[in-house]
Amino acid sequence: MPLAVVYAVAAVLFLLLLISLGFKPKFIARINGIVLTFVGLAGLFFYGYGFYALFGGTLRTMVRTLFAVFCMFLGRNEIGTISSIPLLATDGMQILIYFTHLLALYCTASAVVSGIGKNFIRTLNLLLINRGDLNLIFGVNADSVSFAEQLPKKQATVMIAAGGEDTFSARVMRMGGLLLTDDAAQTPSPALLKKLGIRPGTRRYAFYCLEADPVKNLRFASDLRDALFARGIAPAQTTLTILTDDASVGEKLQTVPGQAAGFGSVLSVNRSELIARMLVNTYPPCQTMTFRPDGTAAEDFSAVIVGFGSTGQAVLRSLLMNGQFAGSTFHAEVLSLDHAQLAGSFFFRYPGIRENYDIHFLDTDARSAEAYQYLAKNAHTINYVAVCTGNELENAEILRDLTGFLADLGRRVPVVSCSEQGICRLEEETGLPKHARLLSPAVLDLSRMDARAMLLNHRYNLSAGRSVEEDWAVCDYFSRCSCRASADFLEAFLAATGCTVEQAAQGNWQPAPEVLENLGRMEHLRWCAFHYCMGYTAMPDQVFDARAAQYQAQKAAGTPTLRITKDPVNRQHACLVDWEKLDALAAREAAVTGVLKDYKAMDVDNVMLIPAMLKEASHD
């Protein structure tokens, strides 16, 4: 074979490899389908006409025509046989016949090269993912692939498609990841973990269950937990982030002291909670506030929530937890026609919200005259608007109208659409929508969140004499969520003092005593809001006295284990009182235990940890 031909064939094969890896599989399949159809029809015409002219309308003609077309894809041809036919002997027709055979070879080569290319890249990535930390993502869709693309490039990524879907294989390959679509990968086993290089040691593994179906997520996570245990993987090596509708999943899947099976750290959220987390992460309530030199807020925080379905309820809780500022009160106006049917379960689960915060319902559509009368009357006090109707088209319409209406009144407040598609706000300069995808490392990556939360938990447990990691290992799921919520509030403290992240990270964080006390008040307000939003209520005096008596009985019998101020079973906490009453509570508790806890100092200590938390986050 001449050298030029060898080079030409190699160039064609290399080009096909680039095409197969550079374009989406669906696009390649569509192009190949068009080419294949053209080749088949053209081959039938050329050979059918040629053999008919030579042999007439016989069975032999039909069979030989089909055989000749089939052979085109194998590199064989019978062009010489049909070239004696006058119509097929012209230069133009000969060029067309040869071109058709070339396209037939392209179809065959494309299929072979695509398969070889994918297998080669797959094998190479399989070797590479055995090094460094690993992210394993169950559930392949536009959002999860976009999420994977945002993860650190130094970490290996494996994605598992729940239904064998390979639509995103090209994107996963381009980011250096590995996509598994086989049935075996969808049911984790020790063999799969071994194949992926998941082994005991110091390597860290972050698992994400991001499939749209929460039942599939739970099944995958449960099987994965069992496979990790069988493989001997220590819980400390693992984290799990899972989308689920079961609020108890986090506690079920996170390991506890003395239990080898389970994940070292778990974040369990439903889609509504994820939307709400993304909302306050992208548009923190503190950015809508102004603060005095002493760290207190210059105005109250007032929000409007349109719609009170699952998303509206999650947004209210998230705004409550992140909209607490010293010197300020929280108010929310909910515009919803069906709030009476939707709010019953909400306030039954979270009675402390209705008892302690100003939540008002306006029984109207956000597009009604009544709604706009309220907005016009209260526009000067509104800080935040979240549109959560549950309908994408309604959200878009209300978003546009409310943004324009408030702008006309001189109010530049966040008006944000919250839906399954993520969150969206109209840009002030252009009026164009600015979208933020639902899945983001900022709200899903446990390594980022826990780095700060672990320091807060450690400061709270200093007397135990354990390391940061040891304290975190014995920290229960609820307490971890509390620490994460506190760490998420970091930006609010900086905003209250006018300090930048860079300044605080460099250690320039020395608030004056008066400012520090107000920041402590703010932390206590946030802490109370978190507990109310998790279903807690204040502990009645008679319950406190009964638990105190139980504590004394335990003390008389040996070492007491009861914590008087917190009843996690009935979700009651004695510290859910005003800042001014904390010292009296501490004295009352000390009269029983003999240990005086300075609850105010605990809140202030959390604030003073900000430089250390920022420094820790910079190491991520």
Residue 453 lies in a domain: no
Could you tell me which residues come within 8 angstroms of residue 612 by beta carbon, excluding any fewer than 6 positions away? 455
CB 365 within 8 A of CB 338: no
Report the number of distinct structural domains present in the chain.
Answer: 4
Residue 547 lies in a domain: yes
pLDDT digits (tens, 9 = 90+) for 492-507: 999 999 988 888 888 7
Token reading at 168: 């995103």
Rounded to two decimals, the pTM is: 0.80
CA–CA distance, 178 with 125 (Å, rounded to integer): 6
CA–CA distance, 196 with 185 (Å, rounded to integer): 10
pLDDT greater at residue 26 or residue 143: 143
Residue 537 lies in a domain: yes
Last residue of a domain, one of 84, 117, 150: 117
Could you tell me which residues come within 8 angstroms of residue 53 by beta carbon, excluding any fewer than 6 positions away? 85
CA–CA distance, 512 with 529 (Å, rounded to integer): 26
Average pLDDT, the chain: 86
pLDDT at 168: 81
Residue 57 lies in a domain: yes
- Pairing type for strands 537-538 and 566-567 reads unpaired
CB 415 within 8 A of CB 387: yes
Residue 111 sits in the same domain as residue 39 = yes
Helices (H), 558-596: 582-593
Residue 262 sits in the same domain as residue 309 = no
- Pairing type for strands 572-573 and 238-243 reads unpaired
Worst-scoring range by mean pLDDT, 130-144, 305-319, 455-469, 584-598? Answer: 455-469
Strand order in the sheet with 205-209: 178-180, 156-160, 134-138, 205-209, 238-243, 265-269
Strand order in the sheet with 422-426: 358-362, 330-335, 301-306, 384-387, 415-419, 422-426, 433-436
Residue 20 sits in the same domain as residue 169 = no
CATH of the domain at 344: 3.40.50
Number of other residues whose CB lies within 10 A of the CB of residue 433 = 13
CB 518 within 8 A of CB 326: yes
pLDDT at 1: 41
Residue 368 sits in the same domain as residue 343 = yes
Could you tell me which residues come within 8 angstroms of residue 181 by beta carbon, excluding any fewer than 6 positions away? 160, 161, 164, 165, 166
Under DSSP, the state recorded for 289 is -
pLDDT digits (tens, 9 = 90+) for 345-359: 898 999 999 999 999
Find, among 415, 421, 363, the residue nearest to 387 by Cα: 415
**Torsion of Cα atoms, 186 then 190 then 195 then 200, to 10°:** 130
Most confident range (mean pLDDT) of 61-75, 218-232, 422-436 is 218-232
Task: Grade residue 26 by pLDDT with cuts at 50, 70 and 90.
Answer: low
pLDDT at 162: 80
Residue 158 sits in the same domain as residue 216 = yes
Residue 218 sits in the same domain as residue 232 = yes
CB 244 within 8 A of CB 270: yes
pLDDT at 181: 86
Residue 226 lies in a domain: yes
Residue 467 lies in a domain: no
**What share of the chain in percent tops pLDDT 90?**
50
pLDDT at 118: 55
- Alpha-carbon distances, residue 145 vs 277, 362, 613 (angstroms): 20, 40, 29
pLDDT at 112: 60
Mean pLDDT value across residues 424-451? 85
Mean pLDDT value across residues 21-37? 66
Residue 426 sits in the same domain as residue 547 = no
Last residue of a domain, one of 97, 117, 137: 117
Residue 257 sits in the same domain as residue 283 = no
CA–CA distance, 531 with 482 (Å, rounded to integer): 8
Could you tell me which residues come within 8 angstroms of residue 474 by beta carbon, excluding any fewer than 6 positions away? 257, 466
Find, among 246, 262, 255, the residue nearest to 475 by Cα: 255
Last residue of a domain, one of 210, 238, 269: 269
Residue 21 sits in the same domain as residue 41 = yes
Residue recorded with tokens 């840009």: 427
Helices (H), 461-572: 468-473, 477-488, 490-497, 501-505, 513-533, 541-557
CA–CA distance, 387 with 366 (Å, rounded to integer): 9
End-to-end CA distance of the chain: 57
Residue 592 lies in a domain: yes
Full residue range of the structural domain in which residue 45 is found? 3-117
Mean pLDDT value across residues 135-163? 88
Residue 196 sits in the same domain as residue 316 = no
CA–CA distance, 131 with 133 (Å, rounded to integer): 7
> What are φ and ψ of residue 297, in 5° steps?
-75, 145
CB 206 within 8 A of CB 445: yes
Residue 612 sits in the same domain as residue 493 = yes
Find, among 159, 208, 207, the residue nearest to 181 by Cα: 159
Kind and range of the H or E run holding 230: helix 214-231
* DSSP-based helix, strand, coil % in the chain, nearest 5: 60, 10, 30
pLDDT at 18: 54
CA–CA distance, 301 with 494 (Å, rounded to integer): 17
CA–CA distance, 122 with 169 (Å, rounded to integer): 10
Residue 590 lies in a domain: yes
Looking at the DSSP bridge assignments, the partners of residue 358 are: 331
pLDDT digits (tens, 9 = 90+) for 206-253: 999 999 899 999 999 999 999 999 999 999 999 999 999 888 898 899
Judged by DSSP in three states, 321 sits in helix
Statement: residue 401 has pLDDT above 70: yes
Residue 281 sits in the same domain as residue 262 = no
